[in-house]
């Protein structure tokens, strides 16, 4: 089963992808995580991607299509995969179609924009081990310190309030048109993403099976 999770930044795609990945036994492919790893390692495309990522803009279609193509060619994707954060533009969706990748369903996680802003600006991350927290909904045991490894927690550069506004603008301009793209292919299902994590996962799994 090949799935796409669609939704604004902060809609909860990453969290839901983890749950669905475990339930269905297929890997999640997050282009955002792959790009962040590349930035950390200082690879050539990481260096190219960093400025765009820090400012809330999109990385070029050419770079992300390249990394996605390499990733889905790997053995663990033979049974299927969940795409989290790709495609983010119509040309990326067209590239998937042109590669002959069959997509079974596109699940859109719909969340009110004010909720999204609160979620993103309250997010805290540990750069060492990757654990994520939220100042109100998932606080660490000690404020500002990672429960897992004890490193200090930080605000992701692209979660700063001004950048969040730019990311949402980019989403509306570049990514939201994908809803029409996949609606026209009869693949789009919309799920409300405001319930608890478990409640939303249940709705998503029903949408995937239905």
Piece of 18-26, 31-39, 70-78, 109-117 that binds ligand AMP (CB under 6 A): 31-39
The angle formed by the CA atoms of residues 204, 12 and 134, to the nearest 5 degrees, is: 140
Note if 119 is an active site residue: no
* Residue 58 found at the interface with ligand AMP (CB under 6 A): yes
Q: Which residue is nearest to ligand AMP (CB)?
A: 32
- 95 phi and psi angles, rounded to 5 deg: -65, -40
Note if 156 is an active site residue: yes
* Rounded Cα gap, residues 8 and 79, in angstroms: 27
* Tokens encoding 120: 């993103």
Piece of 20-28, 51-59, 131-139, 193-201 that binds ligand AMP (CB under 6 A): 51-59
- Using CB under 6 A as the binding rule, the residues of this chain from 97 to 156 that contact ligand AMP are none
Residues 50, 88, 105, 124: which is the catalytic one? 88
Note if 13 is an active site residue: yes
Handedness of CA 121, 106, 197, 149 (dihedral sign): negative
Residues 36, 105, 119, 123: which is the catalytic one? 123
Which of 7, 32, 46, 193 touches ligand AMP by CB under 6 A? 32
Residue 210 CB, shortest distance to ligand AMP, in Å, is: 26
| 103 or 145: CB nearest ligand AMP | 103
Residue closest to 111 by CA, chosen among 171, 59, 158, 174: 171
* Rounded Cα gap, residues 60 and 63, in angstroms: 6
DSSP-assigned states of every residue in 66-85: HHHHHHHTSGGGTT-EEEES
* Tokens encoding 70: 């390499």
Site of interaction with ligand AMP (CB under 6 A): 9, 31-32, 35, 52-53, 58-59, 64, 85-86, 88, 92, 158, 167
């Amino acid at each position: 089963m090949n799935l796409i999770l669609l939704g604004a930044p902060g809609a909860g795609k990453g969290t839901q992808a983890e749950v669905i990945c475990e339930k269905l036994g297929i890997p999640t492919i997050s282009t955002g995580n792959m790009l962040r790893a590349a930035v950390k390692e200082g690879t050539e495309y990481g260096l190219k991607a960093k400025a765009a990522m820090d400012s809330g803009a999109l990385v070029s279609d050419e770079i992300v299509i390249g990394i996605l193509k390499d990733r889905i060619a790997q053995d663990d994707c033979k049974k299927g995969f969940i795409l989290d954060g790709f495609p983010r533009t119509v040309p990326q969706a067209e590239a998937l179609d042109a590669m002959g990748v069959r997509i079974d369903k596109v699940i859109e996680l719909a969340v009110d924009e004010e909720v999204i802003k609160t979620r993103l600006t309250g997010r805290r991350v540990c750069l060492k081990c990757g654990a994520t927290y939220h100042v109100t909904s998932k606080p660490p045991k000690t404020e500002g310190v990672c429960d897992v490894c004890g490193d200090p927690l930080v605000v992701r550069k692209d979660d700063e309030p001004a950048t969040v506004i730019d990311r949402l603008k980019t989403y509306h301009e570049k990514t939201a048109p994908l809803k029409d793209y996949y609606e026209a292919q009869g693949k789009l299902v919309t799920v409300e993403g405001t319930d608890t994590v478990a409640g939303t996962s249940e709705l998503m799994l029903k949408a995937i099976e239905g």
